[in-house]
Chains A and B, each alone.
Chain A
């Protein structure tokens, strides 16, 4: 069981990179007036066949050879649905996959969003050749992190160069704080 929504997001995004995605878009949107927390991940990876898609929420289905269960998507779905929210996943072979989870923001069973910055940092560090577009919204305010723009500026300089890694960390920290005012989500 995951303890934070941000860990579910990391898990699903890892699936996107394993599907060979060149761009993974991660949207986290908090809306206090509709009382919803929406998480959407979309990628341009290899996608799933109709048969795989039908079984993706079944915990006893996985494409892995190393074990017989696949709990990532079932965990995520359950986490959303147990807060009165919803879960959907769309996929087309050769096009990509889009996963959407809506959580009841103030529902007692909603787990904390957790350390989103750490999830994004981990993804960027581990997948230097994949681009990530992270959009964080808090009511009317929002910010974006787009590694394509970073890459354009940096050229040959790697994301794990200490100065660059520190910049990315601060970029996430400062902009998130400015967007949500430090709200505990």
Chain B
């Protein structure tokens, strides 16, 4: 069994490092729809991929990945919304873990919106 002793060792190591967490209002918020519609369409792997990428690349001071409810566009789930302070909200639809990785690299890191996956590029009837 993995024990809490290992967690204590992590704490000892971390406490010597200065917290680099940015102010909340300065961080870009990444919201993944996690109501029944989102979960049933595959939101869990999308959210986990995004939070893994942010954590592994030590980007938690720049991005916060969290869940949101249903925004009434169930047919387009899994939906990911990117809210960057001072910029217009970008809504990505029908996401997968693979597409989420692309959004992370191109948009969040590279600064270029992946137009093909956005709600505004979808043919809404």
| A and B interact | yes
* Docked pose: A20 CA to B10 CA in angstroms: 30
A174 and B1 contacting across the interface, CB-CB below 8 Å: yes
* Docked pose: A174 CA to B39 CA in angstroms: 26
Question: Is A95 part of the contact surface with B, judged by Cβ < 8 Å?
Answer: no
* Docked pose: A155 CA to B60 CA in angstroms: 18
- Chain B residue numbers with a CB within 8 Å of A11 are 35-36, 39-40
Q: A160-B55, A163-B10 are in contact. Are A2 and B40 (CB under 8 A)?
A: yes
- Chain B residue numbers with a CB within 8 Å of A150 are 4, 7
Question: Is B113 part of the contact surface with A, judged by Cβ < 8 Å?
Answer: no
List, sorted by A's number, 11 A–B pairs whose CB atoms are closer than 8 Å: A10-B39, A66-B69, A67-B37, A71-B36, A71-B40, A72-B35, A118-B44, A119-B44, A153-B8, A155-B11, A157-B15
B44 and A10 contacting across the interface, CB-CB below 8 Å: yes
Q: Across the two chains, which residue of chain A brings its CB closest to B65?
A: A125
B10 and A64 contacting across the interface, CB-CB below 8 Å: no
- Chain A residue numbers with a CB within 8 Å of B2 are 170-171, 174-175
B10 and A164 contacting across the interface, CB-CB below 8 Å: yes
The distance from the CB of B5 to the nearest CB of chain A, in whole angstroms, is: 10
Q: Number of A-B pairs whose CB atoms are under 8 Å? A: 104
B60 and A122 contacting across the interface, CB-CB below 8 Å: no
Q: How many residues of B contact A (CB 8 A)?
A: 37
CB-contacts of A109-147 with B (<8 A): 115, 118-119, 121-122, 125-127, 143
- Chain B residue numbers with a CB within 8 Å of A60 are none
The distance from the CB of A56 to the nearest CB of chain B, in whole angstroms, is: 13
* Docked pose: A1 CA to B39 CA in angstroms: 10
- Chain A residue numbers with a CB within 8 Å of B7 are 150, 153-154, 164, 167
A75 and B36 contacting across the interface, CB-CB below 8 Å: yes
* Docked pose: A119 CA to B39 CA in angstroms: 10
- Chain B residue numbers with a CB within 8 Å of A161 are 14, 55, 60
Question: Is A162 part of the contact surface with B, judged by Cβ < 8 Å?
Answer: yes
CB-contacts of B1-56 with A (<8 A): 1-2, 4, 6-8, 10-11, 13-15, 19, 21, 34-37, 39-40, 44-45, 47-48, 51, 54-56
Q: Which one, B4, B15, B40, B70, contacts A64 given CB within 8 A?
A: B70
- Chain B residue numbers with a CB within 8 Å of A118 are 44-45, 48
Question: Is A156 part of the contact surface with B, judged by Cβ < 8 Å?
Answer: yes
What per-residue 1/0 map shows which CB atoms of B55-71 lie under 8 Å from chain A?
11010100001110111
B69 and A163 contacting across the interface, CB-CB below 8 Å: no
B14 and A126 contacting across the interface, CB-CB below 8 Å: no
Q: A10-B39, A67-B74, A174-B2 are in contact. Are A122 and B10 (CB under 8 A)?
A: no
Question: Is A108 part of the contact surface with B, judged by Cβ < 8 Å?
Answer: no
- Chain A residue numbers with a CB within 8 Å of B51 are 125, 160, 165
Question: Is B72 part of the contact surface with A, judged by Cβ < 8 Å?
Answer: yes
Question: Is A149 part of the contact surface with B, judged by Cβ < 8 Å?
Answer: yes
Nearest first, the 7 A-B pairs at minimum CB distance are A66-B72, A72-B36, A126-B67, A174-B2, A162-B55, A171-B2, A66-B70
